[in-house]
Chain A
Amino acid sequence: MFEVTEDGSPEEIELRIAAVLTNLPIIRSLAASIAMRADFDLDSIADLRLAVDEACSTLITQSAPRSTLRCAFHVNAEEIRFVVSAPSTSDTKPSSDSFGWRVLTTLTDHTATWIDGPDDSDAPLVHIELAKRRSEGLPG
């Protein structure tokens, strides 16, 4: 009834959306909906929602004008993995000493950030990756 997917295989969900802060509600609703349907506990659903919000707003605020945010969710039996990427105006990664980073590390089980390029495109592509594991002691 509450399986991750009908055949139990990992599920991929991708969203491409304009990198503007007004789109945050759409992204966080999607995150919450995915975690809910993967039958994560309510705390984990809320945590993922906040973390996705934080990661996306971090990238949006340093994104190149009129750029697109790419959000990818990967759901399997153990965890939900989320990667968000956006072309950035700077070639520095989000600082791991910032309060925002502390928010991300508190709310999730794994956080990473890296930069690609710029090679053929004109802006470096900044990524943030998060993973939220299913809580211990849950049935099934």
Chain B
Amino acid sequence: MTGTQSSRARNQETSATGYEHLTPKFVEMAELPDGDPRRATLRNALVTGHLPLAEHIAARFSNRGVPREDLIQVATLGLINAVDRFQPDRGTDFLSFAVPTVMGEVRRHFRDASWSMHVPRRLKELNLAINAASAELSQRLGRAPTPSELGKHLDLSPEQVYEGLEAGNAYHSMSLDEALSPDSDSDPLGDKLGQPDAALDGVENYESLRPLIEQLPERERMILTLRFFRHMTQTQIADKIGISQMHVSRLLSRTLEQLREGLMGDGK
């Protein structure tokens, strides 16, 4: 879209926003009964008409390690939500409602689906390649591969493998990986694994620990149980749950940290 640059110069606080012609359409849409086919036409016109706004907001968040196209998509989604939820009779104008809504959507995307610090694209691709190679080699070897095996497999130098592995640590713990992995509710494994109660017997701080473990999300509890009470390796757990070993590692690290914090908060 070409409207991005031109909308940058405009100040939304003045009346010259460039979107005034769309305002009557909101009133028109609000007056139509639900299910009226004209609503869809108006909605389309409103979303399309405000697209430069979404692009403008996406542009403000670009160069932070998330592809621009993804940002525009997320911002557009935010815009659609804003169009759907906006009530013209509330007395606010659409822009002061939409801008925070769209920005919120983009921020959430950064929080949920991106790297916690700026990591060059090359390193992210390297990390993804290593993740894929690691899954493949684990299958073949029956254990997790070493950096040198990964290097040989991917035809990379040791330093490149180290870089790629380290880049994985910069990945936010709430990753895309996580968003794409099976929902804990639908995971049949969750049903098979009971509480780790029996295994926890004999652990000194059992009484303070048990409620903390019960509060964990199903999948985190499962990973904890499989690693510490069933002695499975991270690679085996990754394979069982259908996520990467690096992701298991991140989740386990976060879970142990939470448990430690919880035990300390207990006055222990």
**Chain A residues in contact with chain B, CB under 8 A?**
1-2, 29, 32-33, 36-37, 39-47, 49-50, 53-54, 57, 61, 95, 97-100, 102-103, 106, 135, 137-138
Give the number of chain B interface residues (Cβ < 8 Å): 38
Per DSSP, chain B at the interface is: helix
Contacts of A135 in B (CB 8 A): 143-144
Contacts of B234 in A (CB 8 A): 42-43, 46-47
Contacts of A97 in B (CB 8 A): 202-204
Is A100 touching B253 in the complex (CB atoms < 8 A)? no
**Chain B residues in contact with chain A, CB under 8 A?**
134, 143-148, 151, 158, 162, 165-166, 169, 200, 202-206, 209, 227-228, 231, 233-235, 245-246, 248-249, 252-253, 256-257, 259-260, 263-264
Further pairs besides A61-B264, A97-B203, A99-B204: 15, Cβ < 8 Å: A1-B148, A32-B166, A33-B162, A36-B147, A36-B166, A39-B146, A41-B143, A42-B145, A43-B144, A44-B144, A47-B234, A50-B256, A98-B205, A99-B203, A135-B144
Contacts of B259 in A (CB 8 A): 99
Is B144 touching A57 in the complex (CB atoms < 8 A)? no
| Nearest CB in chain A: distance from B33 CB, A | 57
Residue of B nearest to A54 (CB): B256
Is B144 touching A49 in the complex (CB atoms < 8 A)? no
A44 to B233, CA, bound (A): 9
| Nearest CB in chain B: distance from A30 CB, A | 12
Contacts of A43 in B (CB 8 A): 143-144, 233-235, 245
Contacts of B144 in A (CB 8 A): 41-44, 135
Which one of A33, A39, A43, A57 has the highest number of Cβ atoms from chain B below 10 Å of its Cβ?
A: A43
Contacts of B147 in A (CB 8 A): 2, 36-37, 39, 42
Residue of A nearest to B250 (CB): A46
| Nearest CB in chain A: distance from B143 CB, A | 6
Is A106 touching B235 in the complex (CB atoms < 8 A)? no
Q: A46-B234, A61-B264 are in contact. Are A53 and B256 (CB under 8 A)?
A: yes
Contacts of A49 in B (CB 8 A): 249, 253
A37 to B245, CA, bound (A): 19
Is A42 touching B146 in the complex (CB atoms < 8 A)? yes
Q: A39-B147, A40-B146, A54-B256 are in contact. Are A98 and B166 (CB under 8 A)?
A: no
A107 to B233, CA, bound (A): 9
Some 7 contacts from A to B, beta carbons below 8 A apart, are: A39-B147, A41-B143, A46-B249, A50-B256, A53-B257, A135-B143, A137-B143
Is B205 touching A99 in the complex (CB atoms < 8 A)? yes
Which one of B147, B228, B264 has the highest number of Cβ atoms from chain A below 10 Å of its Cβ?
A: B147
A1 to B159, CA, bound (A): 10
**Other-chain contact of B169, A29, A42, A98, A102 (Cβ < 8 Å):** A29
Is A98 touching B146 in the complex (CB atoms < 8 A)? no
A40 to B233, CA, bound (A): 14
Contacts of B231 in A (CB 8 A): 106
Is B205 touching A50 in the complex (CB atoms < 8 A)? no
Is B146 touching A100 in the complex (CB atoms < 8 A)? no
Contacts of A95 in B (CB 8 A): 204
| Nearest CB in chain A: distance from B201 CB, A | 11
Is A100 touching B260 in the complex (CB atoms < 8 A)? yes
